[in-house]
Structure 1
Amino acid sequence: MHRATLREVAERAGVHPATASRALNAATESMVNAATAARIQKVAKELGYSPNPIARSLKTSRSSSIGLVIPDLTNPLFPPIVRGIEDVLRAVGYNAWIVNTDNQGDVEAAAVVSLRQRNVEGFVFATALLDHPLLEELAAASIPMVLVNRKTAGGADIPSVTSDDAAGVALAVKHLVDLGHRHIVHLAGPQDTSTGATRRKAFRQALEDNDLPHESSRITLCETWSEEAGAHGMGVLLDSDTPFTAVIAGNDQLALGAYDALAERGLRCPADVSVVGFNDIPYIDKVFPPMTTVHIPHVEIGAEAGRLLLEQLNDPTRHPRSLLLPTTLVVRGSTGPANPARAA
């Protein structure tokens, strides 16, 4: 099927292609005589012409698009964050190219190359690892970008929007202490991410602050942010000699895995073991029992990331800044008073 070209529109309307281009671009339409612009637009409609955004971006170096790089699109954490980013960008005429990396570095690197070839003007990364050479390389090249939900530990000062994870863990521990729990364990997420490392460190500090047992056996490391990893980690804790009446998971998916492991052992939540998640992902209140979890402001995190990126695009000389958004504890049915028998 033939696709009408700008030159064909110009010839039919009896104008130069540059005039036709200006008349068909909302940003430059005012530069063309109103009657001429109307004639060009009428011809374009008759021919079924639509501008080629990629060709235009190659000519102007402006694509009005950004790359949004996500580690796992099946993780319910990310859709509300994406929504926040897109709400902000769409309002000013930007679109997002969304790519999923499956937590694979080579996939991410290839996606970044592909997006840059499409002339995206900046990036939002939700894939940041503490040690992330690709992001350091992009930062050194002054590529506009923002990290969302995670940060790097490298030397580059990359803008980021994250939640106050340490405060969230402290709220979770205090809630359990108020319920009488003194033996609490932690399912820690991958330690190559800022979320996993920060929440693990905050858990240990919260135990110390509340004069609770805080030996290293109370923390089990999970290799991935997944339900399967949470179930495996919970099984390790249940098979250990460490007594506990409550578990705080590094995220809600690990906590769902804890649910599975407890049910497999015939243990009840919260009668035998209380469970606290982290992130408050969509529908976590619909599981049984509804999960007590630390809420992070998903949509706001995305929206702020979009605003930070626009700041860079509008003023490349502006000093980069990062935001830490507050967390809250949402108490539901998965936590209850400590079971003395389990503590023993």
Structure 2
Amino acid sequence: MSFTIKDVAKKANVSIATVSRILNGQGGYSERTKLKVLKVIEELGYQPNAVARGLINKRTHTIGVLFPKLSSSLVTDLLDGIEKAANDNGSSVIVCHTESNGEKTMKYLQLLIEKRVDGIIFASEILKDEYYQYVAKSKMPMILLSTESYAYPVPFVKVNDFHAAYSAAKYLIDKGHTKIGMISGNKEDIIAGIPRIEGFKKALADHDIPLDDQNIVFSRGFTFPDGVEGLKRMVDQFPDVTAIFAASDEIAIGALSAAYQRGIKVPDELSVMGYDNLSLAEMSIPPLTTVGQPLAKMGETSAEMLFALLETGDTPESRIMPHKIVERMSVKERK
């Protein structure tokens, strides 16, 4: 038998409103009344209906998160942080896999709004006009994660990709390398592609390191296969290269694999550096030196910002998170 809030109120000899206030952590009752109601709830095995509670407090205690690719280790780390903050705030997470497909993204946004989630975290891809306009029209709170928008006033959480890529290239330069290549992501990607390319180029220019078309291989994305293909192209077009900065750890690990297949010893003959500090980075052979993004903390911060917005109604300030160089064994100093 399924019991209702009315059953709880009747057996505890209190009003339905009192039971509701106790369930929602509101005041207006004695500790004795609270204990009595909680005891009745336990005796009846009453489970509060989330939808009914949402009608009372205008919250469903769920948030929606949109990711372009769920198989990425980067997404796993970001989601760990989001779920931690959601759990701490008594909420659940609905995860949507958009595949960077515009039609699919719009369908998920429509679904989340129809389900009356409390807010949305939009992660790792460009916020297009149609997405923004649809969400803004619904007045749904939204935070951007690992992306940002120059066109729309949506708070974001991310690392400064230009600065982080500059730091990576400078690290290789400080290790004595002057023949440095980059395997980039998509050069049309304004979020992680262009800033990382420009940061790399700026570091070389500032240190008078020669730079031309042979220094950069442009990939379609940030995946392992992009790294495998990128290493082959880099070695062919820049045979003297001694160090490679890869625009993601997955690219870097692909490059390590391709180097092994070609008999190129890392780091003795070629140094390889990644970007992200995924858990895979310390599992690779050799363990990967990389630019660390605090991914779990970024996810947690984005969710905390969303919950703060829901509580106060005040738009939070965007957050640029710190990056750091994580030294392992894939980069060798040149004497």
Structure 1 length-normalised TM: 0.85
Structure-to-structure mapping, 1:91-130, within 5 angstroms: 91-129=88-126
Contact 2:67 2:98 in 1 (8 A): yes
Does residue 332 of structure 2 align to residue 336 of structure 1? Answer: yes
Q: Aligned AA for 1:5? A: T
CA distance in 2: counterparts of 1:334 and 1:189, whole angstroms: 20
Q: Aligned AA for 1:175? A: Y
- Relative distance call for 1:334 and 1:39 in structure 2 (3 A) is closer
Over the matched positions of the two proteins, sequence identity in percent amounts to 28
Greater shift, 134-143 or 326-335, is seen at: 134-143
Contact 1:270 1:333 in 2 (8 A): yes
CA distance in 2: counterparts of 1:57 and 1:19, whole angstroms: 14
CA distance in 1: counterparts of 2:101 and 2:266, whole angstroms: 35
Does residue 5 of structure 2 align to residue 6 of structure 1? Answer: yes
Q: Aligned AA for 1:22? A: S
SS across alignment from 2:282: coil
- CA deviation map 1:48-69 (0-9, x unaligned): 2201112321443212222122
CA distance in 1: counterparts of 2:329 and 2:245, whole angstroms: 14
- Relative distance call for 1:132 and 1:267 in structure 2 (3 A) is farther
- CA deviation map 1:172-225 (0-9, x unaligned): 212222233212111111332511221011111112111122213322222222
Post-superposition shift, 1:157? 1.3
Which structure 1 residue ranges, 5 or more long, are not aligned?
340-344
Aligned to 1:252: 249
Contact 1:217 1:242 in 2 (8 A): no
Does residue 152 of structure 2 align to residue 156 of structure 1? Answer: yes
SS across alignment from 1:293: strand
Greater shift, 216-225 or 287-296, is seen at: 216-225
- CA deviation map 1:230-283 (0-9, x unaligned): 212222222335642211111100111111111121211112221000011114
- Relative distance call for 1:130 and 1:146 in structure 2 (3 A) is closer
Does residue 313 of structure 2 align to residue 300 of structure 1? Answer: no
Does residue 23 of structure 2 align to residue 25 of structure 1? Answer: yes
Q: Aligned AA for 2:160? A: D
CA distance in 2: counterparts of 1:135 and 1:243, whole angstroms: 46
Greater shift, 326-335 or 163-172, is seen at: 163-172
Does residue 239 of structure 2 align to residue 239 of structure 1? Answer: no
CA distance in 1: counterparts of 2:330 and 2:238, whole angstroms: 23
Aligned to 2:61: 64
Q: Aligned AA for 1:187? A: I
- CA deviation map 1:294-320 (0-9, x unaligned): 11122332232223223322333x355
Does residue 270 of structure 2 align to residue 273 of structure 1? Answer: yes
Post-superposition shift, 1:141? 4.6
Post-superposition shift, 1:336? 1.2
Structure-to-structure mapping, 1:173-322, within 5 angstroms: 173-190=169-186, 191-240=188-237, 243-316=240-313, 318-322=314-318
Structure 2 length-normalised TM: 0.88
Contact 2:109 2:135 in 1 (8 A): no
Post-superposition shift, 1:293? 0.4
- CA deviation map 1:63-116 (0-9, x unaligned): 222212223333222333333333334333333323333333333332222222
The RMSD of aligned alpha carbons is 2.7
CA distance in 2: counterparts of 1:98 and 1:68, whole angstroms: 5
SS across alignment from 1:223: coil
> Which one of the candidate residues 52, 77, 83 is aligned to 2:80?
83
Contact 2:66 2:123 in 1 (8 A): yes
CA distance in 1: counterparts of 2:91 and 2:60, whole angstroms: 8
CA distance in 1: counterparts of 2:160 and 2:124, whole angstroms: 18
Contact 1:54 1:63 in 2 (8 A): yes
CA distance in 2: counterparts of 1:10 and 1:251, whole angstroms: 57
SS across alignment from 2:157: strand
Greater shift, 60-69 or 129-138, is seen at: 129-138
Post-superposition shift, 1:39? 5.2
Contact 1:22 1:32 in 2 (8 A): no
Aligned to 1:326: 322
Post-superposition shift, 1:123? 1.4
> How many residues are matched?
334
- Relative distance call for 1:23 and 1:308 in structure 2 (3 A) is closer
Q: Aligned AA for 2:217? A: T
Which structure 2 residue ranges, 5 or more long, are not aligned?
none
> Which one of the candidate residues 158, 164, 187 is aligned to 1:168?
164
